[in-house]
């Protein structure tokens, strides 16, 4: 399988605020490095991506947000220096007497306005890494032909990024960028299947009012898991997008049998949609030993999952999302790709 990867991601290595305080980010460069080692050993062909198409990103993100991401670090350094990454500790209130408030002029206020979680911060290499990951997504579509598949080793991940907010380790929505690329290249309907442990709230939000992209997600129930405020079964889309969003929330300790049942529902919905292309938002944080998950899938389960997705017989782009058991992440990704082949 063709794999698109880049070492630009290494420049993004920042901090997160967790229950243990301010710590090195769990979403660290070692994740991509372990994956690249495993897929190289498995004999896959590795190539670099083409240049990012920023104008295309403006179809899924606001220009204001993209400009903010591009300038946040130098603005931060000008004001505070470069000893700590850029982050805020103040977010807009969920409710305000006068409704949503305008974006502040101040950088710290904008950091709160354009984020929804303190698990990711902006450093000197964040913008370059985020746009390189999106370039991997776009190039993966460009290199995908017929019923072939391409795997994009995206880091940082993307499925939590909304049109104008970052969070959940995500800045630019790579899966949305790939789906938009398929649409721009003539696909009438594209399906995104998100099989990360966490709900892809950003992907859902971006396409919630659109009928040309079907979003389907298997994930931990938001009643007990991040991102908590998105991913319920009754979220089906609105307006033109009504019926084009399917959430399949699952309980803690979900095993492969229960997970496979949900996958069957997801695959049936995609097959019925008439989708002409498939984007897989692929996370291996469903793994039994993942520190951020509660599901119990094993390495030996991933080849079968890949094989079932292959049976859809669609041009397919597989993009890396989560997976934080760094000692096993490469093996798990390689297992999935072997099944898909």
Lookup: tokens for 202: 């950003």
At 2, is the secondary structure helix, strand, or coil? Answer: strand
Cis bond leading into 156, ω under 30°? yes
Report the length, in residues, of the chain: 341
CA distance 135 to 220: 29
Which string of DSSP letters, residue by residue, matches 147-177?
Answer: T-EEEE--SS--TT--SS-BBTTBSS-HHHH
Q: State the maximum Cα–Cα separation within the chain, in Å, rounded to a whole number.
A: 59
* Residues recognised as catalytic: 160
Q: What is the pLDDT of residues 261-278, one digit of tens each?
A: 999 999 999 999 999 999
Residues of the chain with pLDDT > 70, as a percent, come to 100
pLDDT at 98: 78
CA distance 281 to 273: 18
**Confidence class for position 94, pLDDT limits 50, 70, 90:** confident
Could you count the other beta carbons within 10 Å of the beta carbon of residue 127? 22
Q: Per-residue pLDDT averaged across 273-297, rounded?
A: 98
φ, ψ of residue 10 in degrees (nearest 5) = -60, -25
Residue 62's domain spans which residues? 2-340
**Confidence class for position 147, pLDDT limits 50, 70, 90:** low
Inter-residue contact 275 to 308 (CB < 8 Å):
no
- Give the number of domains in the chain: 1
Burial of 193 (0-12, 13-18, 19+ CB in 10 A): buried
Lookup: tokens for 28: 């660290």
Q: What is the pLDDT of residues 182-225, one digit of tens each?
A: 999 999 999 999 999 999 999 999 999 999 999 999 999 999 99
> For position 94, which CATH number holds?
3.40.800.20
């Amino acid at each position: 399988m063709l794999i698109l990867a880049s070492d630009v991601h290494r420049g993004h290595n920042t901090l997160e605020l967790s229950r243990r305080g301010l710590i090195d980010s769990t979403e660290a460069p070692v994740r991509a490095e372990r994956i690249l080692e495993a897929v190289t050993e498995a004999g896959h062909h590795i190539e670099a991506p083409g240049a990012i198409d920023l104008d295309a990103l403006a179809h899924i993100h606001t220009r204001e947000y993209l400009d903010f991401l591009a300038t946040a670090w130098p603005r931060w350094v000008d004001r505070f220096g470069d000893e700590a990454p850029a982050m805020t500790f103040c977010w807009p209130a969920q409710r305000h007497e006068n409704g949503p408030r305008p974006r502040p002029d101040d950088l710290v206020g904008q950091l709160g306005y354009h984020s929804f979680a303190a698990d990711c911060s902006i450093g000197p290499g964040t913008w370059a890494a985020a746009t390189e990951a999106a370039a991997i997504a776009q190039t993966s579509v460009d290199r995908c032909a017929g019923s072939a598949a391409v795997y994009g080793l995206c880091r940082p991940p993307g499925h939590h990024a909304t049109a104008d907010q970052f969070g959940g380790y995500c800045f630019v929505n790579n899966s949305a960028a790939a789906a938009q690329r398929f649409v721009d290249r003539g696909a009438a309907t594209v399906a995104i299947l998100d099989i990360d442990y966490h709900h892809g709230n950003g992907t859902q939000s971006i396409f919630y009012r659109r009928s040309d992209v079907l979003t389907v997600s298997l994930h931990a129930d938001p009643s007990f898991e991040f991102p908590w405020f998105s991913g319920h079964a009754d979220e089906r889309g609105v307006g033109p997008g009504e019926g084009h969003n399917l959430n399949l929330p699952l309980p803690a300790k979900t095993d492969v049998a229960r997970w496979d049942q949900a996958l069957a529902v997801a695959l049936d919905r995609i097959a019925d949609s008439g989708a002409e292309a498939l984007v897989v938002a692929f996370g291996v944080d469903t793994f039994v030993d993942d520190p951020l998950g509660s599901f119990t899938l094993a390495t030996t389960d991933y080849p079968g999952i890949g094989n079932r997705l292959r049976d859809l017989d669609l041009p397919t782009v597989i993009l890396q999302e989560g997976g934080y058991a760094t000692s096993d992440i490469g093996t798990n990704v390689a297992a999935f790709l072997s099944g898909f082949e």
